[in-house]
């Protein structure tokens, strides 16, 4: 999670919503790291999780990422959980909960619904205070 927080800090410095993600392979090797860039890239899908999944898939040469773990500083939205389901990510570890758009247990839980042919193991709240602090600081600065 520490590396995901480092990625979130990179996003913060770019005036992006500071969310960071890391994809780790079955052997513990870091496959990719990313931070949010929807503003700088003019791409609404450029969430940290999506970018990290794309990069990891390219690296392993497969759109499926079985036996991988995605670490992300903020509970993923529906789009990002959907991408993880399609990629067959084994486990999701996130920091801060997102009661407004979190799709891994807060607003809704797409990771456990019976309508998909894949389920993701989820651990939430890891270093939650550290992950939430950077988001709090970011939004406080913008709201004055």
Catalytically active residues are: 49
20 to each of 8, 27, 132, how far by Cα in Å? 4, 21, 12
Q: Please say whether the beta carbons of 16 and 25 come within 8 A.
A: no
> Could you tell me which residues are beta bridge partners of residue 35?
20
Q: Which two tokens stand for residue 46?
A: 């450029």
**Separation between Cα atoms, residue 7 and residue 18, nearest integer Å:** 8
CB 65 within 8 A of CB 56: yes
């Amino acid at each position: 999670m520490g590396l995901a927080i480092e990625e979130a800090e990179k996003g913060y410095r770019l005036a992006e919503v500071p969310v960071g993600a890391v994809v780790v392979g079955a052997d513990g090797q870091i496959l990719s790291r990313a931070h949010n860039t929807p503003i700088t890239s003019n791409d609404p899908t450029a969430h940290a999780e999506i970018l990290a999944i794309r990069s990891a898939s390219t690296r392993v040469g497969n759109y499926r990422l079985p036996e991988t773990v995605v670490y992300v500083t903020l509970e993923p939205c529906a789009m990002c959980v959907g991408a993880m389901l399609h990629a067959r990510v084994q486990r999701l570890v996130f920091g801060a909960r997102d009661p407004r758009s979190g799709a891994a247990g807060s607003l809704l839980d797409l990771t456990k619904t019976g309508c998909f042919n894949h389920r993701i193991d989820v651990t939430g709240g890891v270093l939650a205070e550290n992950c939430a602090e950077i988001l709090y600081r970011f939004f406080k600065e913008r709201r004055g």
